[in-house]
A and B are shown apart, each in its own frame.
Chain A
Amino acid sequence: MAEELFGSQTLGDIASYLEGGGAQGLAGLGLLTSAYNRLGNVGEQGQRLGQELAETQIGQAAFRPYTVTTATGGQFGTQIDPVTGQLKTTMGVSPEEQAMRSQLFGDAGQFYQQAAMPTGEREQAIFERMRLAQRPEEERQRLALEERLAGQGRLGVRTAQFGGSPEQFALAQAQEEGRNRAMLGAMQQAQAEQMQQAGLGQQYLGASYLPQQMLLQGITPGQTAAGASQQAQLYGAGLFGEATASGIDALLGSALGQGNLMGAAGTGLLSGLFAPSGGGGSEGTSFFDILRNL
C-alpha cells in the first residue's frame, strides 16, 4: 500500500521506518497530540465548571424574599421585582389597624387644623360661656342692690364721681372686673386649648403611626430569622462553592495528570520517531531520511 502511494522506496523506507520503531514514534506523537488536546479541554472544562459554580452560587447566595406577619395582622415583606429586579419592601397593617390609623390620622389633622385656627372666635365663645355662668349671679346682685337702694331711697342717685351711687359703682366695677377676668381667662383658655389641640394632634399623629411602629418592632424577630437564614444560605453557598471548587480542582488535577501522563508517554514514543530505524545505531532509516527521500 505504501508503494502505491509513494514509490516503492519511500514506502519501503516508511515501512522500514515503521518497522524499525517509527510506528512507535508516531504513536507517541499521537499521544502528545491527544495530551495536548486534553489539557486544553481540561482548562475549558475548568472555566466552564467555575462559571457554572459561580452561577450556581449566585443563585444560592441570592436574596430570598420573605414576609413577616405580626400577631395583629400586620405584614412586612421584602421581595425582588421580577421586572425591574429591584428589591422591594412592603409593609401593611391589618385592616383594623389601618382603620384606627386612618381615624387617628384624620383626627390629628382636625386637631392641627383647630390649633391652626385664630383664637378669636374661640375666645369669644369661651367668654360667652363664662358670662353665661356669671350673669345669673350678677343679676341677683344687681337686684339685691336695687332693692337695698330702693329701701334707702337712693335708686335715683346720679353722681359725677361714680355715675350712680357708690354701691352701684362698686358693683359695676366688680362685675366689670369679673368680666375682664372672664375675658382674660377666655384668652388663656383659648390659648391653652390651642396648645391642647396641637398636643392632641401631635399625640394622635404619633398614635396613628403606632401600628406601623409596632409592625416594625414586630418584624425584628422575623428579620433576625431571615438574616440567620440568609447567613445559613450564604454559608451553605460558601460550602457548596468550596466543595464544588475542590471537585473541580480534583477533576482538573486528574485531567491534568492524565494529560501529563499522556504527554510523557507521547514524548517517549515520539523520540523513536526521530531516531534511525533498524535498531540501535545510525545505520537505520530515520524519519528525516524518509522526508528527504520524498
Chain B
Amino acid sequence: MAQELRSINLVAPAFKGINTEDSPLAQDPSFAETADNAVIDKRGRIAARKGHEVTTTNKTALGTAALRAIKTFRDDAGNTKVFSAGNNKIFSGTTTLVDETPVGYTITADNWKMVNFNDRIYMFQRGYEPLVYDNTSAVVEAMSDHTHAAGVAATMYGNEVLAAYGRLWTADFTDNKSTIYWSDLLNGVHWSGGSSGSIDISKVWPNGYDEIVSLAAHNNLLIIFGQHSIVVYEGATSPASMALSDTVAGVGCVDRDTVQYTGTDVIFLSQTGLRSFGRTIQEKSMPISSLSKTITKDIISLLQNESDFYRSVYSPEENFYLLSFVGQETTYCFDVRGTLEDGSYRVTRWPGSLFTAYETRRDGKLFIGTTDGISEYKGYSDNGVKYRFKYFSPSLTFGDPSRLKILKKIKPTLVGANSATVFMKFAYDFGTSFSTTEFTVGNQNPAFYNVNEFGANSVPLSEFTGGELTNQRSLNAVGNGTSVVVGLESDINGFALSLQEINLLALIGKTL
C-alpha cells in the first residue's frame, strides 16, 4: 500500500551552530554537525562567511611571510597610521607595506602586541625592548630612544601590554611570570619615578603557582589571567593601593591574543574552551560559564595540537568573535548576538583560513592579516580564491530512530549563491559515504541605473533584480536508513549564500 510522503522541514538549519558534543541522535536539528566557512547571518540563517579582499598591493617588505599583528595608530589630533608586523619587521601602511623597523633593532619573532595610549602606539613582545611611535617623532623607535623615556629595562620587556586606567601595564617576561609593571600616569615611556611601580602576585595565585598570560581591564577591575587561574584586583586606577578583589582557580587563559572585550564581558580562551569573564566571576564555576560547550572537545583538541599562536577579534558590526588557531589554519566564529540555552554562543568553523592577524577599525571594517598583507573582511572570495561552504546536519531520525527512512526528495531553499554549483549530500546510518546531487543556482546579475543589462538598444532595455536571489530546488534522493544526514556544500566565489531551509520528503518504513 502506498504511503504518504512525510515532509520533514529543517527550517533555518544550523541556526544554533555546530554541536559536536551531544549525541547526534539526540540533537536538535537546529544544530549542525558541520558548518564550515559559515556564519549566522542577519536573519538567523546559516550562511557563507565573507571572504577577504587584499588591500595591500606592495608587500615586498613582507616577502612570503604572514602578517602577525595589525594595529591602527590614532591620536587626539586625528592622525592615523596602520602598523603591522611580519617577516621580523614592523610595517606601516595598507597598500604598500613600508618597513618601519628601527635601524639597528633586530627582530627575530613577530608576536607583537600593539596598543594605543595617549597619542602613542606601543608595541610589546617578550624579550624585546618595546617600540613606540607618535606623530611627533613620526618614526618607530625603541622605547629607550624616546625623548621622555625613563626606567626602560630588560626586566619590563613583557609579552603582554595593556593600556588601561591611565597607564601601560606589562607582564609575562622571559624570567618572571608573576610580576606586573605599570608605567607612570599617562606616560607609557616612563617606567621609573612618578607613580610607576610593579606588583608581584606570585603569593596570590589561588593554586599556589601560575604564570601570567594576559591582562584585561573591566569594570574598574584589573584582571590578571594566569594559565590556570584568574586574579582580579579592584581600584586599579590607583595601582599602589589596588586590592585583591577575587580569585578564580581552575580557569585560566591560553593566550593573550584570545582576550577580547565585548562591552559587557571579557571573552578569553581557557584550556577548556571559550569563557566569559563576567560570567565566570558571577558563577565561579567552569562549566556554566563556558561559551563553547557545543565544541569543547574540538577546542581542546585544537589547543593540544596548536604549535603556532592564536589570534582573535571581536567585531560588533559582524556580531562575531573570531578565534583562530593559526598553526592549524582553523578559525571558529562565535556569534555573540545571543546564547543558547546552555549559555553557549552559536559557533561555526572556518577551516583552511589563513588569517594570521585581525584589527577591528573604528569605521567598522575588519582588517585581516595574511601572507598577502592587509585584507579587509568583505566580499565573497578569499582574495579571488573560492572557498567552500559546508553544512551537514546531525543525524536525523525524524523522531523515530527505530523505523526506516526512505528519502525521496530533498528541497533546499537557498538565498543568494548566484551561479554557484551546490552539492546536496545525504547519507544514512552514520555512513561517511555521502550520496551527492548537484545543481547550479540561477544567475542574477545586478542591474545598475542607466546601464542596459542586455546591451545597447536591446529590447527589453533592462531587467531589474528583485532583491536577494532565492532558489528552491527539488532533488531526488535514494537509499534508506534509520537516520539521515543531509549536507550542502558550495564553493563561495563572489556571491553570498544562505541556507534558508531544507525540506525532506521521506517515506517512513518498517521498524527495524
Contact surface of A with B, Cβ cutoff 8 Å: 150-162, 165-166
Contact = CB atoms under 8 A, between A and B. Distances in A.
Centre residue among B196, B198, B233, B241 by max chain A CB count within 10 A: B241
B197 A160 contact: yes
* 6 smallest beta-carbon distances between A and B, as pairs: A156-B200, A153-B244, A159-B197, A152-B243, A153-B204, A159-B240
A233 B184 CA distance: 107
Given A154-B243, A166-B241, A161 B194 contact: yes
A166 B203 CA distance: 19
A151 B247 CA distance: 12
Interface of B: 151, 178-179, 184, 192-204, 231, 233, 239-244, 247
A162 B240 contact: yes
Nearest to B190: A160
B243 A153 contact: yes
A160 B191 CA distance: 9
Given A150-B203, A161-B194, A156 B179 contact: yes
A161 B241 CA distance: 12
B231 to A, nearest CB: 7
A165 B241 contact: yes
A161 B201 contact: no
Contacts of A161: 194-197, 240
30 contacts: A150-B203, A153-B203, A153-B243, A153-B244, A153-B247, A154-B242, A154-B244, A155-B200, A156-B179, A156-B198, A156-B200, A156-B202, A157-B199, A157-B239, A157-B240, A158-B198, A158-B199, A158-B200, A159-B197, A159-B198, A159-B239, A159-B240, A160-B192, A160-B194, A160-B196, A161-B197, A165-B240, A165-B241, A166-B240, A166-B241
A172 to B, nearest CB: 14
A119 to B, nearest CB: 41
Nearest to A149: B243
A166 B239 CA distance: 10
Contacts of A155: 200, 203-204
Contact of B195 (A151, A154, A160): A160
Nearest to B244: A153
Contact of B193 (A152, A157, A160, A165): A160
A156 B151 CA distance: 19
Nearest to A155: B203
A80 to B, nearest CB: 94
A155 to B, nearest CB: 6
A153 B240 contact: no
Contacts of B196: 159-161
Contacts of A157: 197-200, 239-240
A160 B233 CA distance: 20
A153 B197 contact: no
A39 to B, nearest CB: 130
Given A150-B203, A154-B243, 14 more contacts: A152-B244, A153-B247, A154-B244, A155-B200, A155-B204, A156-B178, A156-B179, A156-B198, A156-B203, A156-B204, A161-B196, A161-B197, A161-B240, A165-B240
A155 B203 CA distance: 8
Nearest to B243: A152
A85 to B, nearest CB: 95
Given A161-B194, A161-B195, A156 B201 contact: yes
A24 to B, nearest CB: 152
Contacts of A153: 201, 203-204, 231, 233, 243-244, 247
B281 to A, nearest CB: 16
A7 B247 CA distance: 181
Nearest to A161: B195
A68 B151 CA distance: 92
Contacts of A165: 240-241
Contacts of B233: 153
A154 B222 CA distance: 13
A234 to B, nearest CB: 100
Nearest to A148: B243
Nearest to A157: B199
Contacts of A158: 197-200
Given A162-B240, A166-B240, A166-B241, A154 B194 contact: no
Nearest to B240: A159
A162 B238 CA distance: 13
Contacts of B202: 156
Nearest to B197: A159
B430 to A, nearest CB: 52
